[in-house]
Amino acid sequence: MDKLDRRRFLGNSALAAAALSLPAAAYAAPGRSSVVSTTKGRVRGTVEDGLHVFRGLRYGQDTRPHRFQAPRAPEPWSGIADATAFAPSCPQRSDRYASTSEDCLFLNVWTPGPDPRAKRPVMVYIHGGAYSSGSVVDPLNYGHHLASRGDVVVVTLNHRLNAFGYLYLSRLDPRFPDSGNAGQLDQILALQWIRANIANFGGDPGRVMVFGQSGGGAKIATMMGMPAAKGLFHSAATMSGQQVTASGPLNATARTRAFLADLGVPERDLGRLLAMPTEALVEGLDATDPVLGGGVYFGPVLDMKWLTRHPFWPDANPQSNHIPMILGNTLDETRAFVDPDGPKVAGLDWSNIAERMAPELRIDIHPEWVVAQFRERYPAYTPEQVFYAATTAGRSWRGQVIEADERARAGAPTWVYRVDYQSPVEPRRGAPHTIDIPLVFGTLDAEGSITGTGPDARALSGKMMDSFVALARDGNPNHGGIPEWPVHTLPDRETMLFGTEVRVANDPRRWERELFGRVPYIQPGT
């Protein structure tokens, strides 16, 4: 491969070699190479502990020359392109990832073997971080344990985020008709790449499962209602990540105006955005959100081109009701968002809990009444316990309740879980948002995991991994290692509780569900 072709494939190779501020050995182990043909050219990965691993596979062109536009498939290359190191992540307001670039449309593959005859299930992971941050260049998301245990092909992908992926310019300038959903279109392009190429990596393009945590789950819920994604995946799982409503075009335009004002770019001269340095656009993410306050929100937009209705309102989009789906949340979601040792919890008592809790509920409900109801229902609870129970039920669980109920009404095959497993590493966190990532990937010992590596964690991780693999393989998460997991129906609302004991309960937290069900729910940010 000549130097130009190689640069076109990997983008900035120096950045790709430093995808995380971790030692290179953490993600690019030397060993035998593995060469696979794709529709655009051949790629070389490595063989590690019996798995064929390809890092930094390009599925889309550099987005910098085509800012705020739909992604473009790669150009063909000659020779063999190197795919042995993670490529850059999307630019964002975080210093966690040492390598970021607008040239970020890359994916990674872990496969037991690149034999087209194998036809293994394919599990495609979409990362969280809302729509503004995050990356799969993270040890928690490595696919080696899942691929080995389940005999599956695991794919993880990066895509455009924040303003690069979701800045809605269409109403201000017709040159950018795809801008509000460009990040979603990146994911769809990646799934098209998978459909065209995954057989050569040992995968079955007719058995593709998408799964994602938090923002990754929300992206999947959104894609389930996007006509452009129809037929690209055959099962789905969302982990603490739902998207009931999308951003309306008026709110999205107001946010765009706030972003432009922060950058000093007039609406009549949006072409200036195309010439600005990447770093300047990242600085603009500090703009104040005109709807919610705080940092400006970016997410999928009801643009009436790529997204023509809300994902789960007024019902579950019929486009995807045939797709088998797992929906999950954790028992103590907001213990990840609100630090138990931080200022909102320090000194918490009955005199100040309502005031502190109100903004964390993210819905318009009488906070003093909520506190009184919880104290009457759970008289032994401390103020801290009420704070986290109420904010989890009111803020982080509502979307899942709505999605599960709407799919049940439609007769769509859906299995619901709740993670009850309590962190032995950070006991005050309980079972917080993100704890299911290492459990499902088997990355219990990875940096950032709070599951511990004891026998309880290992046993639970095996059960959850096997359920996700079973969904990918057979369209049903049941397997011999867990009790029978029934489909979620109304009014029973059957739910698998994943803890040190794994069991099924009907309508757990019914009281909390009914309490907050009195108030209309609008997806925060939309």
Catalytic residue numbers?
Answer: 214, 333, 433
C-alpha triplet 238, 243, 246: angle, nearest 5° = 155
Helix (H) or strand (E) holding 283: helix 278-283
Q: How far apart are CA 336 and CA 435, in angstroms?
A: 9
Number of helices (H) and strands (E) in the chain: give both, helices first.
16, 13
Q: How far apart are CA 394 and CA 378, in angstroms?
A: 16
Burial class (CB in 10 A: 0-12, 13-18, 19+), 326: buried
CB-based contacts of 294, cutoff 8 Å, min separation 6: 288
Please, how many CA atoms are within 13 Å of residue 430, restricted to the half-sphere of its CB? 22
* Residue whose C-alpha is closest to residue 94's, from 363, 285, 272: 285
Q: How far apart are CA 509 and CA 138, in angstroms?
A: 33
User: C-alpha distances in angstroms, 448 versus 222, 241, 272, 280, 437?
Assistant: 27, 19, 39, 30, 10
**CB 68: neighbour CB atoms within 10 A?**
25
CB-based contacts of 498, cutoff 8 Å, min separation 6: 417, 418, 419, 420, 421, 436, 439, 460, 463, 464
Q: How far is CA 436 from the centre of its chain?
A: 12
CB-based contacts of 363, cutoff 8 Å, min separation 6: 394, 395, 398, 516, 519, 521, 522
Helix axes 353-361, 367-377, angle to 10 degrees: 110
